[in-house]
Amino acid sequence: MAYTMQGLVGIGKLTGRKDFICAAQKTADAEARIMNADGFIPGRQSPSFGAESTWCCLTGSAQTSIVWSGLFQITGDEKYRRSVSVVNRFLMAHHDIDNKDLRLRGGVPGSWPVWADYGRLSILNWATKFFVDALSLQQRIAAL
């Protein structure tokens, strides 16, 4: 879902297609509603955006943060900036900065807990990349 939202926002911005932006907003708004107060977004969801898992896809959460930042830049709606702040706090809490194993330190697992379905027991380079992008965009929109 996050890849699709990112694509819709990106294409909408490039082409001026507001219908693409609106389509991304519908899903982004549903993701904000399903997100827990601590920033946890279920990794699997029903078609009506009900929780279908007890684990979180950290990769998708970071990508959703990126989408919310983009939507804030487009719309100026504070709900997107608030959602970015909440989910990024959750991501930071699961960003491994203390591991003695230098191969793992600084990485972001695919899911939380790490034994869950997405990227099981793995540090994913793209999860870490999306996390860095999410934090960079949060810093950018904080100044707006």
Question: What's the mean pLDDT in 106-132?
Answer: 95
Q: What's the CA dihedral at 96, 10, 117, 52 to 10 degrees? A: 120
Please tell me whether the overall predicted TM-score, pTM, comes out greater than 0.85 for this model: yes
Average pLDDT, the chain: 96
Residue 120, pLDDT score: 95
| CA dist., res. 19 & res. 34, Å (int) | 23
92-115 exposure pattern, b = at least 16 Cβ within 10 A, e = fewer: eebbeeeeeeeeeeebbbbbbebe
Give yes or no for a cis peptide into 113 (omega within 30° of 0): yes
Residue range 72-117, pLDDT digits in tens: 999 999 999 999 999 999 999 999 899 999 988 999 999 999 999 9
- How confident is residue 144, by pLDDT bands cut at 50, 70 and 90? confident
Q: Is the pLDDT of residue 130 over 90?
A: yes
